[in-house]
Structure 1
Amino acid sequence: MLEGLPPNDATHVMRVAAPRVAAQRISDMISETFDPAEVAVANFERTENDWVVEVYAGAAFDPDRLLEMVEIAAGAEIASTVTFGDVEQKDWVAASLEGLAPVRVGTVVVHGSHDRDRVGPNQIGIEIEAALAFGTGHHGTTQGCLHAIVDSARRGRPFPRRVLDVGTGTGVLAIAAERIFHTGVVASDIDAVAVRTARANAKANKAPGVRMIHAAGAGARALSEGGPYDLILANILLPPLKRLARPLRRLLAPGGRIVLSGLLSAQVPAALAAYRAQGLCLVSQRHIEGWATLTLAVDAGRPLR
């Protein structure tokens, strides 16, 4: 999950204000058109029906194409209010860590090196150093997934024996799963920089059971060879989550669970529809700061499609 941060090579930004429904149409159209490793889309609510859409990109930034897409999605009047700007080049995660307190979920504490001494002796400290990748633990989607991992451990043994983390970012969820369940974790991301960063984070956090893979989607051979999985984590965005419904279901072991996040609360029905079509049912959901995390399991009454 990009957690609202620009891609690594972001040099330009597009902004447009629109009512909620129109903003969602703009966001969906752009995110479904571009590779999320090259173009990041974020929605921000200013008031109940006043939203801002921001689009960040580098070499893939095409103002004319973006304007055309906004006009198609929301009309010429809203397209006429689009603004473009430059993005200051900086280390986005370093900036995001400044002044942030550790994130505590159950026994897990996600922190920067400056807060290393704030981890208690009976806590699982996960240190995420500043780097050009995404996932510091402060976003509601990451916190929701951490809660789902901790909840799985609280249910008691048997713990998941095989875990998959799709869209791993900094690797924080994969590291947490490996440290809590003491088992092998396969983690993947379409961003090569994220994979390199996640590998370094896994090594630094003494999580040797995490295997990082550079792969797009869930169809890579390396992912299928590591399955089937008892627990699948996918903290991405709604459009790719919908596309992944069938391949993720096929990677799920009998009795396993899938955790989805990267979803605005309003997007829950759309995500559930895609996964219910694959014979999965909702086990639980958690909402943090307008973001939803869903835990799904196989519905015994519905066949695999």
Structure 2
Amino acid sequence: MIWVWSKLSSVKWMDAWEERFYGNQNAVITLMKGGANLRVEVYNETQEEAEKLREYWGGSVRKIAQENWVAKSAVVKPPLKIRSEIVVTMEGDGPKLDQLRKDFSDRLVISVPPEMAFGTGDHPTTANCLRLLVDEAHRRKGTDWNFLDLGTGSGLLAIAARHLGALAIDAVDYDEAAILVARRNCERNGLSLEDESVKVEVGDVFEWEPARQAEVLIANLFSDVLIAAMPRIAKWLQAEGTLIVSGILNAQWPAVREAGEKEGLVFGEPVQRGKWTTAQGRHG
């Protein structure tokens, strides 16, 4: 059986829902008749996964007959190239992935197959984070730095950070299903979870505490979560650290920036792609 979590929402939140579940091949967003509301549905393999979504977002859960929903809906997109460093592919293990690694032998090829998670790399928020992460890793080359990934989703940013030189990784998401996928992706891409310097775990940004401050911190979260959690996020950023915030609609950026400035953070010029904003900040 398949367990379906669903929730009705105002159409004004469509962008936020699309961003949160982008890359989740089990998610469907349907515009309702009349155009004022939408329905968000996520297909889960277990009742527990569906109930976790209901616990966090509200809505309802129902049971339907089993189908290979991922296989039916998955569309493998062309690989995403980040700077001259990284290639992100939705190909899993197999000849196509082997060929990609041969074709891009001078780059890191990260495999993130479509599963019940988020952040496959081609959404503007994740892609912008990757570009800024590569730039920041170059700036810190030859130095020791730790990485904190809030809202890790598929684990893509954590995987990239490790290969770019991060000594320790803390990757967190509130969603247990996402963390299971992130852990699989880490193992698939050479990050051993038996390594004590790599932690990929379930955590609520308002309750969880990291083991250490981070020199590089990426928070790819809803704008309202970023704003409310900014005092905690600023505390987790090392004195000379770099904060990258994303998941922000352009219209919401001023409020996020103001929340950061209240905590003593100074932001540079934001990067905007389409309707999404990503920005870098540091302690002033």
| TM-score normalised to structure 1 length | 0.70
Report what 2:268 is aligned to.
283
The yes-or-no answer on 1:298 pairing with 2:275 is no
- Structure-2 change in CA distance of 1:102 and 1:275 (3 Å): same
Q: Deviations for 1:234-283, whole angstroms, at most 9, x for unmatched residues? A: 11111111111000111111110111111111111011011111000112
Distance in structure 1 (CA, Å) of the matches to 2:139 and 2:172: 26
| TM-score normalised to structure 2 length | 0.74
Report what 2:23 is aligned to.
none
Distance in structure 2 (CA, Å) of the matches to 1:124 and 1:217: 30
Secondary structure at 2:200's aligned position in 1?
strand
Q: Deviations for 1:173-200, whole angstroms, at most 9, x for unmatched residues? A: 0110111124211101111111111111
- Structure-2 change in CA distance of 1:218 and 1:15 (3 Å): closer
Report what 1:262 is aligned to.
247
- Structure-2 change in CA distance of 1:133 and 1:9 (3 Å): farther
What amino acid is aligned across from residue 111 of structure 1 in structure 2? Answer: T
Distance in structure 2 (CA, Å) of the matches to 1:90 and 1:199: 25
- Structure-2 change in CA distance of 1:43 and 1:176 (3 Å): farther
What amino acid is aligned across from residue 282 of structure 2 in structure 1? Answer: A
Q: Is the 8 A contact 2:30 2:40 kept in 1?
A: no
Report what 2:24 is aligned to.
none
Report what 2:8 is aligned to.
14
Q: Is the 8 A contact 1:27 1:42 kept in 2?
A: no
Report what 2:86 is aligned to.
108
Distance in structure 1 (CA, Å) of the matches to 2:269 and 2:73: 30
Secondary structure at 2:172's aligned position in 1?
strand
What amino acid is aligned across from residue 154 of structure 1 in structure 2? Answer: H
TM-aligned CA deviation for residue 162 of structure 1: 1.0
Stretches of structure 1 lacking an aligned partner (at least 5 in a row): 1-7, 18-22, 31-39, 45-49, 67-85, 300-305
- Structure-2 change in CA distance of 1:27 and 1:132 (3 Å): closer
Q: 2:199 aligns with which of 211, 224, 231?
A: 211
The yes-or-no answer on 1:118 pairing with 2:100 is yes
Report what 1:5 is aligned to.
none
Distance in structure 2 (CA, Å) of the matches to 1:41 and 1:113: 22
Across the aligned residues of Structure 1 and Structure 2, the Cα RMSD in angstroms comes to 3.5
Secondary structure at 1:261's aligned position in 2?
strand
Secondary structure at 1:207's aligned position in 2?
coil
The yes-or-no answer on 1:200 pairing with 2:200 is no
- Structure-2 change in CA distance of 1:211 and 1:16 (3 Å): closer
**Runs of 4 or more consecutive aligned structure 1 residues displaced over 6 Å after TM superposition:** 40-44, 86-93
TM-aligned CA deviation for residue 10 of structure 1: 3.9
Q: 1:172 aligns with which of 156, 172, 194?
A: 156
Distance in structure 1 (CA, Å) of the matches to 2:137 and 2:169: 15
Percent of pairs with identical residues: 26
- Structure-2 change in CA distance of 1:97 and 1:256 (3 Å): farther
Report what 1:183 is aligned to.
167
TM-aligned CA deviation for residue 112 of structure 1: 2.1
Distance in structure 1 (CA, Å) of the matches to 2:70 and 2:246: 20
Distance in structure 1 (CA, Å) of the matches to 2:202 and 2:71: 23
TM-aligned CA deviation for residue 158 of structure 1: 4.4
Stretches of structure 2 lacking an aligned partner (at least 5 in a row): 18-26, 43-49
- Structure-2 change in CA distance of 1:143 and 1:51 (3 Å): farther
Report what 2:214 is aligned to.
229
Secondary structure at 1:181's aligned position in 2?
coil
TM-aligned CA deviation for residue 105 of structure 1: 0.7
Q: Is the 8 A contact 2:146 2:166 kept in 1?
A: no
- Structure-2 change in CA distance of 1:204 and 1:276 (3 Å): same
TM-aligned CA deviation for residue 55 of structure 1: 3.9
Q: Deviations for 1:12-44, whole angstroms, at most 9, x for unmatched residues? A: 353655xxxxx26x989x9xxxxxxxxx99899
Distance in structure 1 (CA, Å) of the matches to 2:267 and 2:177: 33
Secondary structure at 1:244's aligned position in 2?
helix
What amino acid is aligned across from residue 133 of structure 2 in structure 1? Answer: I
